[in-house]
Structure 1
């Protein structure tokens, strides 16, 4: 193959959408859903079952500290119930937060984790000897993030990502001003209408240049963030707070915070849960018995668990409005860096149809030419599904090379 770029010497491709214990990256609201459903699902069931996780944080969702705060909230509800023995299902940030808070109050806690590791959708691995987060990667909403405070207490190395200042390019010419275009769209869409039809009507009202800017804003600020196409998203997603609030990432990975949170806990790995049953005497999770259970599995996995008695009808109806956004990552290592350098290490690529639209250059913090790309929504089917990791890595390189060429063109006199 005659490639216009250097071949990577190592790579990793995520497949969160195919993982039976995640079935996606993070929760997303389907058409008709709103934040009140998150609040409903976070309320206890019969004083025995407590749901927690990023999906059920009614203040903000889809982030590691969303999960952490939800787990702590569930633990507080359990403590108020006077339970003494608790089973926590899942050893992601929600489960670890809940178990740690309960243990600190003297309760007996067992954590059951389906995988052979802790962390859930936060996972740090070593690529050619370098730590790389292949799931959650940023400490988002930094100033109000309790995990950021713990990272500070532990003295962990952190780096700021300025999402407002990417080194960006588009395939079809000079890049329009994306953020104002997105804000105009947000202001124009009627939240009472289906998102897709509202966006279509808005785009039809624009001239070609405005439409191009708005479409790129949708691709980058909406679909890439939510992980689903517009036809599968609630209009309320326009109002859910996301990235861009002093976000920082951990050069040595989230595993540092996970190991800290898991310290001293009774965690049983390779223990996938099939059924949660409860009555006035207590709760049984498969063969494990306790006073109550905090279940922290992702929403798509939650829908597949057997509950006895079944979840209340209102909960079942609420869960129908939740899905999992599809977001995948490729991490590429090279002998040398061949792409343009961004001052902040953050890159954006606007292509049609959308593909590897967001990149984080990890070269400066890792000491080796290392870069991670993100892809979301329908683009996952086009570029991930049915392909080998090598094919995916090389196609991602092609898109990175196209971005680099566009940057070069834009800088030519």
Structure 2
């Protein structure tokens, strides 16, 4: 049967792009189908009024992320070292009072926990927190971390999932160590450039038909046939793709146990960097769970703060509207930076909650307390259909690094399977002759 490619990759985020390049390097033909008009997935960029390209989505990398750092060097992209050195601050009603969350004992207890411990079965993060002997301040700070990074209410996230996900982040330095001067999207663009003309934007996939020998992928424009398909999109969006025949029940359950996070990312651009370095390593607010600010100035003249609103706070604020969000963030940043601080030159808001193609951010999160095998089942896939995303990565899930690792691992498994298939079919052909 004539095929359009050996492998069709659904999604041109970092998972899909990394997978596609690995497959090409293994000598396989590839077609990459991307729903958006641009590549990058949860990485996206925009231009400020001064012509500077900035990040609207995923942004940060560090020296402990070898795969993404190697790609950045290969693409010769300029790195900006953030002012992360030091400790993130928690600001109380009196801005002079700040506390380090390195002093919080709950982090050590989380790191010491075993996600397979039967005692954790059925416990949400909120349940676990209630059981802990710790100060209310420590609990509030830990809860704010959960809301700010996993971006969902703590009472719906299994505690074992938090432990399992967190232990895969092995960075010894801050994950916020660097960002790319031309935005993280510039790296996605560079990766896609190597794959052209095999990348097709604005081509969402509607359905996948699989049988013993091939797969057929349907879009609004085309019907494409391949030996294998890799669905390289987040689980919540992957389950929107109709599968023929329906996925086996365990795999369908594994896809159905995720929920996308709620996060709003805001850039405040200033005419110059006038603030004290003491606030540049990150700021959260006591009594406001899931609100975080970080200095993303490229230099003294290209000054900016990024503000993240995550979890229940994002869900609450977005209902109140963009005007409320802007007013509230301006007030808080003004109080933080001082009464004499100038107003930002620009205020740019990106709400990732319920995003059409990503579903949310920073990632999808398991909310089924019994779904310990969900990631394993998704990595295994079914027949000639495989799944990969940053969420499924054994290293740095939810980060760009994790997306690259997940894509490459999935691609290697597919390439190995097709190599075995080719060897076996070649052997059968020799026997027939």
TM (norm. structure 2) is: 0.66
Q: Secondary structure at the match of 1:354?
A: strand
User: Residue 289 of structure 2 corresponds to which residue in structure 1?
Assistant: 354
Shift of 1:156: 2.4
Shift of 1:153: 3.0
Structure 1 residues 327, 164: CA separation in 2 closer, same or farther (over 3 Å shift)? farther
Unaligned 5+ segments in structure 2 are: 114-118, 342-433
User: Residue 401 of structure 1 corresponds to which residue in structure 2?
Assistant: 334
User: Residue 55 of structure 2 corresponds to which residue in structure 1?
Assistant: 133
CA distance in 2, matches of 1:400, 1:191: 39
Unaligned 5+ segments in structure 1 are: 1-82, 409-413
Q: Does 1:317 align with 2:244?
A: no
Q: Of the candidates 98, 103, 123, which is equivalent to residue 180 of structure 1?
A: 103
User: Residue 156 of structure 1 corresponds to which residue in structure 2?
Assistant: 77
How many pairs were matched up? 316
User: Residue 219 of structure 1 corresponds to which residue in structure 2?
Assistant: 144
Is 2:236–2:256's contact at 8 Å kept on the other side of the alignment?
no
Structure 1 residues 243, 217: CA separation in 2 closer, same or farther (over 3 Å shift)? farther
Shift of 1:199: 0.9
Structure 1 residues 157, 345: CA separation in 2 closer, same or farther (over 3 Å shift)? farther
Q: Of the candidates 262, 280, 294, which is equivalent to residue 212 of structure 2?
A: 280
Q: Of the candidates 20, 32, 45, which is equivalent to residue 99 of structure 1?
A: 20
Aligned ranges for residues 45-84 of structure 1 at < 5 Å? none
Shift of 1:131: 1.6
Shift of 1:393: 2.8
Structure 1 residues 194, 381: CA separation in 2 closer, same or farther (over 3 Å shift)? closer
Shift of 1:164: 6.7
Is 1:88–1:112's contact at 8 Å kept on the other side of the alignment?
yes
Q: Secondary structure at the match of 2:230?
A: strand
User: Residue 245 of structure 1 corresponds to which residue in structure 2?
Assistant: 172
Is 1:166–1:344's contact at 8 Å kept on the other side of the alignment?
no
CA distance in 2, matches of 1:132, 1:275: 34
User: Residue 384 of structure 1 corresponds to which residue in structure 2?
Assistant: 318
Q: Does 1:195 align with 2:125?
A: yes
Q: Of the candidates 267, 273, 276, which is equivalent to residue 341 of structure 1?
A: 276
Shift of 1:337: 4.6
Is 2:43–2:55's contact at 8 Å kept on the other side of the alignment?
yes
Shift of 1:290: 1.4
- The root-mean-square deviation of aligned C-alpha atoms, in Å, is 2.8
User: Residue 304 of structure 1 corresponds to which residue in structure 2?
Assistant: 240
Q: Secondary structure at the match of 2:282?
A: strand
Q: Secondary structure at the match of 1:118?
A: coil
Shift of 1:363: 2.8
Q: Of the candidates 285, 296, 304, which is equivalent to residue 370 of structure 1?
A: 304
Shift of 1:151: 1.2
Shift of 1:150: 1.7
CA distance in 2, matches of 1:143, 1:405: 35
Greater relative CO, 1 or 2 (CA 8 Å, sep 6+): 1
Q: Secondary structure at the match of 1:253?
A: coil
Q: Secondary structure at the match of 1:385?
A: helix
CA distance in 2, matches of 1:213, 1:115: 41
Q: Does 1:270 align with 2:202?
A: yes
Is 1:166–1:342's contact at 8 Å kept on the other side of the alignment?
no
CA distance in 1, matches of 2:138, 2:327: 29
Q: Of the candidates 153, 156, 172, which is equivalent to residue 232 of structure 1?
A: 156
Shift of 1:108: 1.9
TM (norm. structure 1) is: 0.69
Shift of 1:200: 1.3
Is 1:178–1:214's contact at 8 Å kept on the other side of the alignment?
no
Q: Of the candidates 184, 209, 220, which is equivalent to residue 254 of structure 1?
A: 184
Is 1:88–1:99's contact at 8 Å kept on the other side of the alignment?
yes
